[in-house]
């Protein structure tokens, strides 16, 4: 028997576009939506009335933090201070080690996945920092995370991250990348092995993808092998690139081409490629400051970008024009990339930054950003059954409460949510027809336990920076507080 969910506002889908319905419902049975609209009179097994809430497609986060957040530590430092947050050359050569045990790594993954659920994410592609790992992500770690993800009920696009090099601070004080090519090959083998593992699981909530780390941390051979495996196995590739000047300078120095040109040369630039950030194209003021063809090249390739507005802003950069990328025909999806995994705050940051950069208020494309968080993510994943509430689509939906006086007045509920709210207002999350969160409760999950566990693991991670720092400075010197702290 079907389940019916009613809300004051429903973001449905009609003729290829999202549309807003008021005092409407969504009806689903099993994993599939059967009806979206008004006055459903058929029999139902369960009915959930959400009242003053916005019911919409589940949010798709394609750069989703599955780690203990480090942005709270490292997004404040100037260039010299930031060098202490990287691996030193000595640490790379002589002292590489895991900060956490395998069991603790699984705890970190579970903590992060719980956070995704609480913030209305229903589909995710993970990202975790390798800075506190001995190298990258082993096969067993992703097998364990896939098991946790299945138990919690999220829809994941997963694979172990791999790399053949790591960003370091050399003895000279310069930033560069040092390579261990054999470790890159081992990581790639683990990634292929995970694809086979996911195939055997045959669970629609576990989808294998290739997740190499950053373009400057992969040698050309590994980039080409990744492209070949993607084509042969028909799997997506997400590769962080076009995201910084250091990356661009290194690629130009080593290969004589830009990062975008290198993606094309190695065979990765195509419809199976997802590029987080993509902020440093030729139109960026720090590059050329004018469009010399990069956006058309991206659009023609069919690649998708993963825009992470909140995290980019916190590190002092942004997409120079959301509307220019959109107008060029580039598919834009969204990611959070750090804590909080709050795409509502991310949309707000992106919309307001777009106004500032364009110098006009109508550059704040709220609909475009909500499309990116739903339809853009679905297109990047090549999953037209995701990102929309319409009959035949997957029953992935989330609701945000708008009934608190602090939410302010209602005109358009999407603008109210973006301007006055956060994703913490999520009150319902359904994935493939299974309710995975209701009223802030995740069945079988002790949130008080995980709050304390998360803080404990964060403390371990923070202290470990001192070991990697070339000068072995204590954590309190690497991460000074906002104000001096008085001792008792």
CATH number, domain with residue 16: 2.30.40.10
Q: Locate 416 and state its tokens.
A: 């109210």
Residues 239 and 380 occupy one common structural domain: yes
Residue 11's domain comprises: 1-57+388-445
Residue 478 counted as domain residue? no
Residues 357 and 413 occupy one common structural domain: no
Residues 355 and 393 occupy one common structural domain: no
The whole-angstrom distance between residue 285's C-alpha and the CA centroid of its chain comes to 25
Residues 311 and 408 occupy one common structural domain: no
Element (H, E) at 212: strand 211-212
- What is the value of pTM for the model shown? 0.97
Please, which residues have CB within 8 angstroms of residue 28's CB and are 6 or more apart in sequence?
Answer: 2, 3, 34, 395, 397, 430, 433
Write down the residue that tokens 């705050």 correspond to.
345
Residue 72 counted as domain residue? yes
Residues 380 and 405 occupy one common structural domain: no
Per residue in 353-388, pLDDT (tens digit) is: 999 999 999 999 999 999 999 999 999 999 999 999
- Count helices and strands in the chain by DSSP H and E runs: 18, 21
Please tell me the distance from the alpha carbon of residue 23 to that of residue 274, in angstroms, as a whole number. 37
Residues 225 and 249 occupy one common structural domain: yes
Least confident segment among 13-17, 48-52, 129-133, 220-224? 129-133
Residue 185 counted as domain residue? yes
pLDDT of residue 258: 97
In contact, 36 and 24? CB cutoff 8 Å:
yes
Q: Give CA angle at 328 (364, 11), nearest 5°.
A: 50
Of 30, 38, 31, 32, nearest to 12 (Cα)? Answer: 38
CATH number, domain with residue 217: 3.20.20.140
Residue 461 counted as domain residue? no
Residue 232 counted as domain residue? yes
Please tell me the distance from the alpha carbon of residue 246 to that of residue 461, in angstroms, as a whole number. 25
pLDDT of residue 80: 86
Task: State the CB neighbour count (10 A cutoff) for residue 434.
Answer: 14
> How many folded domains does the chain comprise?
2
Residue 293 counted as domain residue? yes
Residues 212 and 149 occupy one common structural domain: yes
Residues 28 and 65 occupy one common structural domain: no
Work out whether strand 397-401 and strand 426-431 pair parallel, antiparallel, or are unpaired. Answer: antiparallel
Residue 115 counted as domain residue? yes
pLDDT of residue 147: 98
Residues 29 and 141 occupy one common structural domain: no
Per residue in 84-132, pLDDT (tens digit) is: 899 999 999 999 999 999 999 999 999 999 999 999 999 999 999 888 9
Residues 72 and 135 occupy one common structural domain: yes
In contact, 323 and 330? CB cutoff 8 Å:
no
**Res. 488: pLDDT tops 90:** no
* Domain end point (choices 386, 417, 436): 386
């Amino acid at each position: 028997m079907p389940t019916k969910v009613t809300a004051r506002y429903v973001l449905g889908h009609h003729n290829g576009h999202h549309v807003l319905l008021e005092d409407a419902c969504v009806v689903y049975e099993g994993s599939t939506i059967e009806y979206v609209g008004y006055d459903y009179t058929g029999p139902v097994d369960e009915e959930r009335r959400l009242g003053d809430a916005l019911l919409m497609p589940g949010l798709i986060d394609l750069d989703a933090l599955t780690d203990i957040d480090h942005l709270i530590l490292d997004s404040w430092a100037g260039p010299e201070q930031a060098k202490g947050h990287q691996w030193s050359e000595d640490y790379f050569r002589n002292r590489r080690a895991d900060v956490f045990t395998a069991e603790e790594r699984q705890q970190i993954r579970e903590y992060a996945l719980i956070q995704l659920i609480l913030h209305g994410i229903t589909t995710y592609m993970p990202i975790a920092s390798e800075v506190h790992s001995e190298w990258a992500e082993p096969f067993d770690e992703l097998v364990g995370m896939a098991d946790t993800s299945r138990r919690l009920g999220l829809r994941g696009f997963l694979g172990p991250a791999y790399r053949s090099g790591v960003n370091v601070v050399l003895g000279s004080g310069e930033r560069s990348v040092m390579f261990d090519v054999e470790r890159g090959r081992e990581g790639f083998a683990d990634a292929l092995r995970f694809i086979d593992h996911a195939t055997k699981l045959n669970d629609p909530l576990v989808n294998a993808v290739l997740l190499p780390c950053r373009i400057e941390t992969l040698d050309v051979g590994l980039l080409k092998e990744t492209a070949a495996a993607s084509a042969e196995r028909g799997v997506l590739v997400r590769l962080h690139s076009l995201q910084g000047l250091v990356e661009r300078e290194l690629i130009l120095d080593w290969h004589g081409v830009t990062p975008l040109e290198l993606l094309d040369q190695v065979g990765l630039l195509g419809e199976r490629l997802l590029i987080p950030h993509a902020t440093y194209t030729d139109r960026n003021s720090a590059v050329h400051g004018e469009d010399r063809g990069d956006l058309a090249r991206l659009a023609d390739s069919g690649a998708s970008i993963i825009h992470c507005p909140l995290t980019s802003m916190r590190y002092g950069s942004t997409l120079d024009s959301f509307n220019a990328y959109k107008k060029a025909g580039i598919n834009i999806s969204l990611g959070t990339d750090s804590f909080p995994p709050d795409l509502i705050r991310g949309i707000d940051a992106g919309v307001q930054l777009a106004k500032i950069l364009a110098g006009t208020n109508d550059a704040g494309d709220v609909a475009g950003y909500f499309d990116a968080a739903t339809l853009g993510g679905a297109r990047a994943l090549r999953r037209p059954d995701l990102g929309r509430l319409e009959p035949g689509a997957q029953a992935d939906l989330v609701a945000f409460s708008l009934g608190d006086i602090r939410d302010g007045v209602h005109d358009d509920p999407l603008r109210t949510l973006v301007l006055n709210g956060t994703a913490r207002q999520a009150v319902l999350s359904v994935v493939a027809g299974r309710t995975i969160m209701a009223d802030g409760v995740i069945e079988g999950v002790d949130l008080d336990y995980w709050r304390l566990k998360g803080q404990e693991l964060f403390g371990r991670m923070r202290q470990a920076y001192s070991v990697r720092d070339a000068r072995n400075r204590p954590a309190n010197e690497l991460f000074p507080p906002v104000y001096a702290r008085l001792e008792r």
